Structure 1
Amino acid sequence: MTSYRQHCPVSAAAEVLGQSWTILVVRELLHGNSRVSEIARGVPDMSSALLARRLKQLAEAGVVTRLTSTGEGRFALTQAGRDLAPVIEHLGHWGRRWTPPPRSGDLKPNLLLLDICRGIDPARLPREKVSLHLRFAEAPPPRWWWLVLSPEGASSTDTDPRLPAVARIDCTVSALAGVWLGHRTWQEILAERTIRFDGTREAVRNTIGWLGRSRFTGSAPMVSASNRMTEQQFD
């Protein structure tokens, strides 16, 4: 762990959190992921050895604690770790405001869909379990993905869940990321046909309402505006 050898509390905090991947590991723990495999899903490019090392360092710093388990390792945030929630939230808002849109090479369907699922409000989802079928035209395999939606929440999978599909979405990863992060509007994306829907008008309206936008856009999903827009697109 880097030592800056300064008295400043910012320096002391940077010694704990400034190592590569550490902030993202804390982000995953704040999302409620306690198992190592769950944490790893959100940081797929991080090696298992490095993840284990970062968790050990966070435990030594008093940010996380290892839960007693006979099976897979599980970790939980301490009070010190939970106090990082507003810090991570502010970093997200800062990054959305002051950094450019993600580069196409940094976009991965699995991580984008994971983020979208985390942001979906379960209270808005249909009462019966259904799926949304997505095909990413320019992405490397797997290109077919499904979002499974139910009152319990949303999840993504690259295996057909064998559920009624309310709509199919053909898109590029950059187009979906752009509208999710608020860099583009649904009207712009649909006009460009970088996102195309196959479904009824009602299904399209519902889908846009379900997906919403990232909380880091700084505003709630504009469902009423989306409804008016889809009326125009389908007329």
Structure 2
Amino acid sequence: MRYAQHCPIALAAEVVGEPWTLLVIRELLHGSTSIADIAAGIPGMSTGLLTKRLRKLETAGLVLLRQREAALTEAGRELASVVEPLGRWGARWLPPPRYGDLDPALLLRDIARGIDRTTLPEQPVAIHFRFAESRGPRWWWLVLSQEVAAPTFHDPRLPQAMRIDCTLSALAGVWLGHIDWLDALRDKTIVISGPRTAVRQAVVWIGASPYATTGTGEPTLSS
């Protein structure tokens, strides 16, 4: 879209303001490089449209394309100073996500890539999630170690660090900072089963979204 204005905001909006473009940039900023990995983070976007948006970003000097991979240029990486504050603004001022917008695959994907792996054990373990309601599979696992943090809906046959029975809304709520962990545990919208250390491990391992509304980004066990 052309605004035909000299204003830098208008010029920037011509590049990043089209539908889906900011989500493509979000995925690139979060470390996705292959077209397949970017597409996995934006399942509602067709591959053809994704390719079209990437080519436009390449023309604008924000992305380098090589075969089936994409990488941000220096100008593209600088968009982090725009996208990250926008995410924090959305978390603070907009309503929590609606149930229909929640997808366990995307939620666990976001949680996994934000995990501080230095807090994880050296040998792989799994957290077994059992969602009370879900589009698609209701049982999921997070495979965790210092080398990997990834969701799967196939039983990885690993030692189980804990089991978490919850609603999607509750898990999204504590991760985004809309709900306090202690409140979710008291209301039993999140139930953690396992060793005595399981609750604190879950809070530390899962952490909080970089956009969490708590202000600090640190989850707490107190209200």
- TM-score if structure 1 supplies the norm length? 0.90
TM superposition shift of 1:155: 0.9
In structure 1, the residue matched to 2:38 is 39
Q: Percent identity?
A: 54
Among 199, 216, 221, the alignment partner of 2:218 is: 221
In structure 1, the residue matched to 2:70 is 75
Among 96, 111, 117, the alignment partner of 2:112 is: 117
Among 154, 161, 164, the alignment partner of 2:159 is: 164
Superimposed CA distance per residue, residues 97-144 of structure 1 (whole angstroms, 9 cap, x where no aligned partner): 111111111111011111111211111111221000001111122111
Q: Distance in 1 between matches of 2:61 and 2:92?
A: 31
Q: Distance in 2 between matches of 1:12 and 1:88?
A: 16
Structure 2 stretches lacking a partner, 5+ long: none
Tell me whether 196-205 or 109-118 shows the greater mean CA deviation: 196-205
Superimposed CA distance per residue, residues 154-182 of structure 1 (whole angstroms, 9 cap, x where no aligned partner): 11111111110111111110000001001
In structure 2, the residue matched to 1:199 is 194
In structure 2, the residue matched to 1:30 is 29
CA contact (8 A) 1:121 1:153 kept: no
Aligned length: 221
TM superposition shift of 1:153: 3.8
Superimposed CA distance per residue, residues 55-105 of structure 1 (whole angstroms, 9 cap, x where no aligned partner): 1111111111112x4xxx111111111111111111111111111111111
Q: Distance in 2 between matches of 1:202 and 1:87?
A: 39
CA contact (8 A) 1:126 1:151 kept: yes
Structure 1 stretches lacking a partner, 5+ long: 230-235
In structure 2, the residue matched to 1:53 is 52
In structure 1, the residue matched to 2:9 is 10
Tell me whether 185-194 or 198-207 shows the greater mean CA deviation: 198-207
In structure 2, the residue matched to 1:91 is 86
In structure 2, the residue matched to 1:232 is none
What do you get for the CA RMSD once the two structures are aligned? 1.4
State the 4+ residue runs in structure 1 displaced beyond 2 angstroms. none
Q: Distance in 1 between matches of 2:113 and 2:87?
A: 14
Amino acid corresponding to residue 219 of structure 1 in structure 2 = T
Superimposed CA distance per residue, residues 166-217 of structure 1 (whole angstroms, 9 cap, x where no aligned partner): 1111111000000100101111111111111121221222122111111212
The structure with higher relative contact order (CA 8 Å, sep 6+) is: 2
- TM-score if structure 2 supplies the norm length? 0.95
Question: Using a 3 Å threshold, how does the CA distance of structure 1 residues 220 and 19 change in structure 2: closer, same or farther?
Answer: closer
CA contact (8 A) 2:124 2:144 kept: yes
TM superposition shift of 1:30: 1.0
Among 132, 136, 146, the alignment partner of 2:131 is: 136
Q: Distance in 1 between matches of 2:148 and 2:202?
A: 14
CA contact (8 A) 1:125 1:153 kept: no
Q: Distance in 2 between matches of 1:212 and 1:155?
A: 15
Q: Distance in 2 between matches of 1:16 and 1:220?
A: 30
Q: Distance in 2 between matches of 1:89 and 1:104?
A: 23
In structure 1, the residue matched to 2:174 is 179
TM superposition shift of 1:40: 0.4
Q: Distance in 2 between matches of 1:139 and 1:31?
A: 25
Q: Distance in 1 between matches of 2:204 and 2:72?
A: 33
